[in-house]
Structure 1
């Protein structure tokens, strides 16, 4: 089995009543020590529960590790000027020695629109702004001259190797976005059969690319190793296990799956 197994750093919680804020340095180091493939940070400006800044979290995790992948799950590009986002991504890629994976999404509506309004962004425009950002982001990260707006040429220096990019979302627009701009697609809690069906639709749109899937909070009921094998057969390259409240126990359980 070659499915990569990742875990979420203790920097946020989907449940306001159960805040998960832990030691990022200790958790990242431990994930690497027990042989996990990746650690991930969620992203939002104002969420329904406490949430740390994703770029700072990943920079911290990268600084105390050597091998493990660090990833955005997922970066809300539309909350930021794309040139600033590119600068942070490029810097993090360089400082981590090219260990970054960039997940991109448009945000969970459950968090509301306060964060978007605080950033000066219309909630309804987030999909369009994400598409526009993804269209220029790789060149900006790579340090290539890039035209932004009308007659504005921007070059980010130093540039870096463009990290793998996946796009999250289950709607038609998200599928098209992944097919057009990404190396992969991500979803939450889909079964292997649902992943296969959706991935086939995306790859039909992808102009010859064959995208792989990342599944957050996979359904590992029954025999988890059999389930992981079923996900792999459906085109999944990576699963990201959800937090339960105790990151140490979560990472131990994830490592047990890794060992098989």
Structure 2
């Protein structure tokens, strides 16, 4: 199992190097136009992370092409793949919230069809092939290797998109049993051997200053309307050994990659614990 981490806002250069030094496999950034909190453009932020690292994969968690003109979205992705030395993992989703689509000038009701179009056309756009977008013939250069495409979120339409277009499935905040059920549904759609990654959250290590599973779970319940008992069961907390035991359940359910958003203070210390988890899983 591979492990990644969501980069925090702030000094991306230092954070990306710390994640690579800890032995992690990937760093990710979310893609937001506006959330009420400061956030960097995802492709610019990951370009910074790529510039100061040499090995670690860089990932979009998740890119929302539906909020952009498709050719421009492809240009951003191709540029990031080029400058990173082909280390990109392209998570794609249709979320972002109605206010963000309004700010982008895109009807919220079109997000699904625009996401489907992006999944259908992006591989050829990135590969430098001529693509028809409306009445325009578009051929982008330089061409790049098409990165792994992980379709984000959950639900039947998402799984259908994985079956039709994706090389991976990237749900977030699912317990292992629900994750395994989604994997079985993919098998029923004829999808065998995709990369299946999980987005998770938690606070790793020891200390009274770190939030508890109950603290983080309440935030999940408030944000997503999830039942509180279910939400409290999701965060990964405690020592490297305790977190490793939790992740083994995901590995047994078929997860190949877990990407964790860390809550609370002492991000660098938590990343070092995550590196210990990575070593334990490898052993």
Larger Rg: 2
Match of 1:199 in 2: 183
Q: CA deviation at 1:232?
A: 1.4
Gaps of 5+ in 1: 12-21
Question: Quick one: distance in 2 between partners of 1:81 and 1:199?
Answer: 32
Match of 1:137 in 2: 122
1:1-260 maps to which residues of 2 (within 5 A)?
Answer: 3-11=1-9, 22-109=10-97, 113-150=98-135, 152-205=136-189, 207-217=190-200, 219=234, 220=236, 223-246=242-265, 247-260=267-280
Q: CA deviation at 1:137?
A: 0.3
TM-score (norm 2): 0.81
**1:140-175, Cα deviation, whole Å (9 max, x unpaired):** 01111112123x221110110000000111122111
Tell me: CA distance 1:45–1:108, structure 2 relative to 1, closer, same or farther (3 Å).
Answer: closer
Tell me: CA distance 1:236–1:165, structure 2 relative to 1, closer, same or farther (3 Å).
Answer: same
Question: Quick one: distance in 1 between partners of 2:3 and 2:83?
Answer: 23
* Higher deviation after alignment, 154-163 or 89-98: 89-98
**Structure 1 segments of 4+ aligned residues over 6 angstroms from their partners:** none
RMSD: 1.6
Question: Quick one: distance in 1 between partners of 2:191 and 2:172?
Answer: 25
TM-score (norm 1): 0.88
> Are the aligned partners of 1:199 and 1:212 in contact in 2 as well (CA < 8 Å)?
no
Gaps of 5+ in 2: 202-233
Question: Quick one: distance in 2 between partners of 1:208 and 1:191?
Answer: 21
Question: Quick one: distance in 1 between partners of 2:173 and 2:28?
Answer: 16
Q: How many residues align?
A: 243
